[in-house]
């Protein structure tokens, strides 16, 4: 803190507020309210029981071509391919009711499949591929339509669960008699293999980052019988952990395929385990609605319906209704263009630069796709690499910058140099973007404006704070230098990581570089694409990282462990260093304690209070320098039925999960002949692309 100067004492005597007197430092200011934006689609809120249930139905049905294949003895009878009590989607929650079989959903994506070992950290290219292939113990994507008073994760592979009286044990009942897409039984053994050999084994890094800390320190899991598992927790009733059992972090893989390749059961190294299922390995068994049957690199991935899928509608029709999914391997920007043009079927409109064009094209009554905005849940923050004990880059320059990142004066300078209004407008003009100081997003359920500290745009204050952080331009070239004992007193050079696959990310990085220059900071863009970006992010190879944020700052209850470094690698910008420890600063320790209490909290009112504490500590300490937040829009081809109105592109999860694709259908009179592998079913695991299909 600065010592009280004579000037300040005099101004205090005049009753001038202390903060105004610190004109030369960054002082909290008034956070403008987000511009009014009411173009959002209206969501009808329901209870969990209105969406789905489990049970046996008197009869089941399947597409005619599958009936024919069954009659030809090419696959077991339907009743032997379904669990005793399949999941049943309730018709009342299906906007357009019971569907009909046929047609395709044609996705366009910007990522590329690295391989099919999701559990060892391989990406399948995002854009809905892994979301469709990974079925998890619980499901949260569709929760956008669940009433607050009934909010809790939907049952999925775990069809029900019971808490012990003391709240320290959770017994989960798994779906019984369900099978993987290759006909092998699903059981608690798959769950235990995932837990023991992919989560607890810290040599394995599942995609989306499940690790022991995700489920609360000291948590254990055991198999009770083939269909029952039991969790034991340190805290009583850590109900939030049910969200961590949804997509991303608890989606078990086929142990009968994975275990033989795991280093514990083979001579494979961990790297060989990760790469044991290359992009050309088709039909990796899944519990998902569709199975990969073809992959032409840089061109397309094609999936066919899973004949063992364990979900039905109330008439007993085995889901999915759509026979095929396609993923054209292109760019994220092209996804918007193709969805609006009608050559693609789906897009999460999330790059604000494409808004005006997409809105214009979709406004036409004859437009092939409808476009519907949701809440402001797409947002970016500048994240500081806080590690001073060896996580990420460790040359003198980056060590010097990480040390600056740990100095509140420096972080106040950075947040004050940002003209967030201009950053937002650099993406799109109009009522879309809102100033976002950091923490929980405005307008979402845990947000509390009174707990949100905002340091307004103020170049002079930024310069004063940089001086207070010990930075001076000692050689007069307009760029601030390190103190003489740091990196030889050279100019401070800061790398800022950005995802080159998105224009929005690049625009924000450019804005930060320009705003840094105005206060004497030399910021160097590090724009990487796809898995290179994600790998650099995950390894801390950055000083600053401009990142589109996850559901933790929208919902607080999903990916909660991302809110603070409660475990060795639970946040994206401060992970354990060489000594296995996260070198927490005092305020970070406060955040960790608050988040751990939140995870262990049973009552909603306690969670709300704890999130206020989190918001205050995070924003007054500039934990991250928030940038901008804006609404996304779902663009989906008009021929599809059963897409819930107001489905957000991102909330607890992405729209590829939220719209529940397995119950989406195309009415008979609107069906197109887009199927690339009509009347076929997936072949055996390990088939070659486009080969071995059952027909």
* Count of beta carbons in the 10 Å neighbourhood of residue 260: 12
**Minimum distance from CB of 635 to ligand BQZ (Å)?**
11
**Omega before 320 within 30 of 0, i.e. cis:** yes
Q: Decide which of ligand BQZ, Ca ion, none touches 534; Cβ closer than 5 to 8 Å per partner kind.
A: ligand BQZ
**Minimum distance from CB of 400 to Ca ion (Å)?**
14
> What span, in angstroms and rounded, lies between the C-alpha atoms of 53 and 531?
38
Q: Is 243 exposed, middle or buried (0-12, 13-18, 19+ CB in 10 A)?
A: buried
Hey, which residues does 373 pair with through a beta bridge? 40, 633
Cβ atoms of 95 and 643 within 8 Å: the answer is yes
**Minimum distance from CB of 299 to ligand BQZ (Å)?**
19
Cβ atoms of 28 and 423 within 8 Å: the answer is no
- Cβ neighbours for 417, distance < 8 A, ≥ 6 positions apart: 457, 459, 462, 515, 516, 518, 519, 521
| Helical H segments across 388-529, by residue range | 396-405, 408-417, 420-427, 459-468, 503-517
Query: Residue 379: which of 446, 440, 457, 456 has the closest Cα?
Result: 440
**Minimum distance from CB of 476 to Ca ion (Å)?**
7
Q: Decide which of ligand BQZ, Ca ion, none touches 63; Cβ closer than 5 to 8 Å per partner kind.
A: none
Q: Residue 473, interface with Ca ion (CB under 5 A)?
A: yes
> What span, in angstroms and rounded, lies between the C-alpha atoms of 533 and 506?
12
**Minimum distance from CB of 426 to Ca ion (Å)?**
27
Q: What x-and-dash track marks residues 315-344 binding ligand BQZ by CB under 6 A? A: -----------------x------------
Spell out where 226-359 has E strands: 228-232, 290-296, 300-305, 311-313, 324-329, 346-349
**Minimum distance from CB of 8 to ligand BQZ (Å)?**
46
Q: Decide which of Ca ion, ligand BQZ, none touches 457; Cβ closer than 5 to 8 Å per partner kind.
A: none
> What span, in angstroms and rounded, lies between the C-alpha atoms of 222 and 215?
14
Interaction residues for ligand BQZ, span 499-538 (CB under 6 A)? 534
**Minimum distance from CB of 649 to ligand BQZ (Å)?**
7
Q: Residue 477, interface with Ca ion (CB under 5 A)?
A: yes
User: Is 287 strand, coil or helix?
Assistant: coil
Q: Residue 654, interface with ligand BQZ (CB under 6 A)?
A: yes
Window of 301-309, 408-416, 475-483, 522-530 that interacts with Ca ion by CB under 5 A = 475-483
DSSP string, 95-128: TT-S-----EEEEEES-----S-GGGT----STT
Window of 96-104, 312-320, 370-378, 478-486 that interacts with Ca ion by CB under 5 A = 478-486
Residue among 57, 479, 584, 676 that touches Ca ion (CB under 5 A)? 479
Q: Decide which of Ca ion, ligand BQZ, none touches 481; Cβ closer than 5 to 8 Å per partner kind.
A: Ca ion
> What span, in angstroms and rounded, lies between the C-alpha atoms of 49 and 533?
40
Q: Decide which of Ca ion, ligand BQZ, none touches 551; Cβ closer than 5 to 8 Å per partner kind.
A: none
Q: Which is nearer to Ca ion, 471 or 546 (CB)?
A: 471
**Minimum distance from CB of 647 to ligand BQZ (Å)?**
13
**Minimum distance from CB of 499 to ligand BQZ (Å)?**
6
Cβ atoms of 300 and 328 within 8 Å: the answer is yes
> What span, in angstroms and rounded, lies between the C-alpha atoms of 429 and 674?
37
Residue among 222, 357, 475, 691 that touches Ca ion (CB under 5 A)? 475
Residue whose beta carbon is closest to ligand BQZ: 126
Token pair 């934990």: residue: 623
Q: Decide which of Ca ion, ligand BQZ, none touches 54; Cβ closer than 5 to 8 Å per partner kind.
A: none
Cα angle 428, 461, 590; round to 5: 85
Q: Decide which of ligand BQZ, Ca ion, none touches 127; Cβ closer than 5 to 8 Å per partner kind.
A: ligand BQZ
Q: Which is nearer to ligand BQZ, 332 or 665 (CB)?
A: 332
Cβ atoms of 42 and 645 within 8 Å: the answer is yes
Window of 255-263, 470-478, 506-514, 541-549 that interacts with Ca ion by CB under 5 A = 470-478
**Minimum distance from CB of 422 to Ca ion (Å)?**
26
Q: Which is nearer to Ca ion, 174 or 471 (CB)?
A: 471
Q: Decide which of Ca ion, ligand BQZ, none touches 128; Cβ closer than 5 to 8 Å per partner kind.
A: ligand BQZ
Q: Which is nearer to ligand BQZ, 290 or 654 (CB)?
A: 654
Q: Which is nearer to Ca ion, 381 or 492 (CB)?
A: 492
Query: Residue 277: which of 685, 693, 694 has the closest Cα?
Result: 685
**Minimum distance from CB of 122 to ligand BQZ (Å)?**
12
CA distances 645 to 101, 655, 656, Å, are: 22, 12, 14
Q: Residue 493, interface with Ca ion (CB under 5 A)?
A: no
**Minimum distance from CB of 360 to ligand BQZ (Å)?**
21
> What span, in angstroms and rounded, lies between the C-alpha atoms of 463 and 469?
10
Q: Which is nearer to Ca ion, 473 or 593 (CB)?
A: 473
Cβ atoms of 31 and 434 within 8 Å: the answer is no
Interaction residues for Ca ion, span 394-453 (CB under 5 A)? none
Interaction residues for ligand BQZ, span 11-50 (CB under 6 A)? none
Size of the residue set binding ligand BQZ (CB under 6 A): 10
Q: Decide which of ligand BQZ, Ca ion, none touches 654; Cβ closer than 5 to 8 Å per partner kind.
A: ligand BQZ
**Helix (H), strand (E) at residue 7:** helix 6-13
Q: Residue 584, interface with Ca ion (CB under 5 A)?
A: no
Q: Residue 350, interface with ligand BQZ (CB under 6 A)?
A: yes
Q: Residue 114, interface with ligand BQZ (CB under 6 A)?
A: no
**Buried/exposed code over 51-76 (b: 16+ C-beta within 10 A; e: otherwise):** bbbbeebeebbbbebbeebbeeeebe
**Helix (H), strand (E) at residue 274:** helix 270-274
Interaction residues for ligand BQZ, span 119-138 (CB under 6 A)? 126-128, 131
Q: Which is nearer to ligand BQZ, 510 or 538 (CB)?
A: 538
Interaction residues for ligand BQZ, span 201-220 (CB under 6 A)? none
Cβ atoms of 115 and 277 within 8 Å: the answer is yes
Window of 165-173, 249-257, 471-479, 563-571 that interacts with Ca ion by CB under 5 A = 471-479
> What span, in angstroms and rounded, lies between the C-alpha atoms of 419 and 627?
9
Q: Which is nearer to ligand BQZ, 68 or 535 (CB)?
A: 535
Residue among 227, 317, 348, 628 that touches ligand BQZ (CB under 6 A)? 348
Judged by the rule CB under 6 A, the positions of this chain that interact with ligand BQZ are 126-128, 131, 332, 348, 350, 534, 654, 656
Judged by the rule CB under 5 A, the positions of this chain that interact with Ca ion are 473, 475, 477, 479, 481, 491
């Amino acid at each position: 803190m600065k010592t009280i100067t004579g000037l300040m004492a005099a101004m205090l005597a005049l009753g001038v507020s202390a903060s105004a007197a610190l004109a030369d430092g960054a002082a909290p200011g008034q956070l403008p309210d987000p511009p009014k934006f009411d173009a959002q689609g209206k969501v009808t809120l329901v209870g969990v029981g209105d969406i789905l249930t489990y049970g046996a139905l008197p009869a089941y049905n399947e597409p005619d071509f599958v009936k024919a294949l069954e009659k030809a003895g090419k696959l077991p009878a339907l009743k032997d391919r379904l669990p005793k009590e399949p999941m049943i989607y309730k018709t009342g929650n299906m906007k357009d009711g019971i569907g009909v079989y046929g047609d395709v959903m044609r996705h366009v994506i910007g990522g590329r499949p690295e391989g099919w070992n999701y559990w060892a950290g391989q990406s399948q290219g995002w854009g809905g591929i892994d979301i469709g292939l990974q079925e998890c113990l619980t499901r949260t994507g569709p929760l956008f339509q669940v009433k607050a008073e009934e909010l809790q994760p939907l049952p999925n592979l775990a069809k029900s669960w019971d808490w012990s009286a003391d709240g320290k044990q959770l017994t989960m009942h798994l779906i019984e008699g369900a099978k993987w897409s290759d006909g092998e039984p699903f059981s608690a053994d798959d769950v235990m293999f995932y837990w023991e050999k992919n989560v607890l084994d810290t040599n394995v890094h599942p995609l989306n980052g499940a690790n022991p800390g995700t489920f609360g320190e000291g948590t254990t899991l055991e198999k009770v019988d083939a269909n029952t598992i039991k969790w034991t927790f340190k805290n009583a009733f850590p109900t939030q952990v049910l969200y961590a059992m949804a997509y991303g972090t608890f989606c078990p893989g086929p142990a009968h395929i994975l275990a033989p390749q795991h280093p514990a059961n083979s001579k494979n190294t961990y790297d060989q385990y990760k790469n044991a299922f290359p992009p050309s390995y088709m039909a990796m068994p899944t519990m998902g609605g569709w199975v990969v049957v073809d992959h032409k690199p840089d061109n397309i991935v094609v999936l066919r319906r899973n004949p063992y899928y364990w979900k039905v509608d109330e008439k007993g029709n085995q889901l999915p209704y759509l026979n095929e999914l396609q993923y054209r391997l292109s760019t994220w920007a092209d996804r918007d263009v193709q969805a609006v043009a009608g050559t693609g079927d789906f897009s999460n409109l999330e790059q604000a630069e494409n808004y005006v064009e997409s809105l214009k094209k979709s406004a036409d009554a004859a437009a092939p796709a409808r476009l519907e905005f949701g809440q402001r849940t797409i947002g970016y923050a500048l994240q500081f690499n806080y590690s001073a004990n060896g996580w990420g880059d460790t040359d003198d320059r980056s060590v010097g910058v990480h040390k600056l990142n740990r100095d509140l004066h420096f972080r106040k300078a950075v947040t004050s140099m940002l003209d967030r209004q201009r950053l937002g407008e650099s993406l799109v003009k109009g009522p879309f973007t809102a100033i976002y100081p950091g923490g929980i997003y405005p307008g979402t359920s845990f947000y509390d404006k009174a707990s949100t500290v905002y340091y307004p745009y103020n170049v002079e204050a930024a310069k004063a704070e940089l001086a207070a952080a010990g930075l001076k331009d000692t050689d007069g070239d307009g760029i601030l230098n390190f103190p003489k004992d740091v990196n030889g007193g050279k100019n401070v050079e800061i790398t800022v990581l950005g995802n080159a696959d998105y224009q929005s990310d690049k625009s924000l990085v450019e804005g930060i570089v320009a705003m840094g220059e105005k206060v004497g900071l030399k910021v160097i863009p590090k724009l990487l694409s796809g898995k290179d970006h994600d790998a650099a992010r995950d390894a801390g190879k950055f000083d600053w990282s401009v990142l589109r944020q996850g559901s933790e700052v929208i919902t607080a209850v999903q990916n909660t462990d991302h809110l603070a470094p409660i475990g060795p690698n639970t946040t994206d910008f401060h992970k354990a260093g060489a000594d296995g420890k996260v070198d927490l600063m005092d305020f970070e320790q406060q955040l960790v304690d608050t988040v751990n209490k939140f995870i262990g909290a049973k009552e909603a009112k306690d969670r709300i209070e704890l999130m206020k504490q989190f918001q205050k500590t995070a924003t007054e300490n500039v934990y991250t320098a928030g940038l901008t937040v804006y609404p996304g829009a779902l663009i989906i081809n008009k021929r599809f039925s059963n897409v819930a109105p107001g489905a957000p592109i991102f909330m607890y999860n992405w729209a590829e999960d939220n719209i529940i694709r397995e119950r989406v259908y195309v009415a008979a009179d609107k069906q197109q002949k887009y199927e690339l592998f009509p009347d076929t079913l997936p072949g055996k695991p390990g088939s070659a692309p486009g080969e071995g299909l059952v027909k």
